[in-house]
Chains A and B, each alone.
Chain A
Amino acid sequence: NAGVTQTPKFQVLKTGQSMTLQCAQDMNHNSMYWYRQDPGMGLRLIYYSASEGTTDKGEVPNGYNVSRLNKREFSLRLESAAPSQTSVYFCASSATRGRTDTQYFGPGTRLTVL
């Protein structure tokens, strides 16, 4: 059982370049999330998807777009990367059966924008 997978693990971009971070889960979860984590800060929600076909903005959505391709996959796109987007990006998923449902995280993508 792979859980949540993310690709790539590392990426270096130049300012203005675009890229898509991929995330997939095999736990049949309805909800999926994208976070970024910067040094000394907690995880900040970029976008989330409560179910297939729906997406909502989180705390820091500017500069990002997402696609919930199907129940398994949730991608994050940077259209024109900026140095301020240098961060570690985590994808997560969660069931929505009840209050005890928790999140499972992928291993992260470490992105540097020069």
Chain B
Amino acid sequence: RKEVEQDPGPFNVPEGATVAFNCTYSNSASQSFFWYRQDCRKEPKLLMSVYSSGNEDGRFTAQLNRASQYISLLIRDSKLSDSATYLCVPKNTGNQFYFGTGTSLTVIP
């Protein structure tokens, strides 16, 4: 079983739409969780950390459900600049990060 599973998409949404991505992880001992964004042929960059109580950063909201071992990312009011691949990343106690294959988002004018 893969450490991290994500729907690869692609998700094609119009500007202004709300879109949600889910991710499941297999290691129940994972301690920390992150969402990264990766633009085409560029390095991944941290979008936001995911806290147990859920957290919001502007138009982005992340949720964690430890019982079901899934993480979600909600993007409101999508912008063209949000087009990218979104990577779900749990981290284990040994400071190893596990990357999903990512979900591709294209925001259409």
Contacts and interface: CB of A to CB of B under 8 A. Distances in A.
Interface residues of B, number: 21
Contacts, number: 51
Interface string B53-80: 0000000000000000000000000000
A56 to B, nearest CB: 9
A45 B96 CA distance: 9
A84 interface: no
Interface stretch (A12-20, A63-71, A72-80, A92-100): A92-100
B22 interface: no
Interface residues of A, number: 27
Contacts of A42: 4, 87, 99-102
A43 interface: yes
Contacts of B32: 99-101
A50 interface: yes
A103 B97 contact: yes
27 contacts: A31-B95, A33-B97, A35-B99, A42-B4, A45-B96, A50-B94, A50-B95, A58-B96, A88-B41, A90-B44, A94-B97, A99-B32, A99-B91, A100-B32, A100-B49, A101-B95, A102-B34, A102-B49, A103-B97, A104-B46, A105-B44, A105-B45, A107-B43, A108-B41, A108-B42, A108-B43, A110-B41
Interface of A: 31, 33, 35, 40-43, 45, 48, 50, 58, 88, 90, 92, 94, 96, 99-108, 110
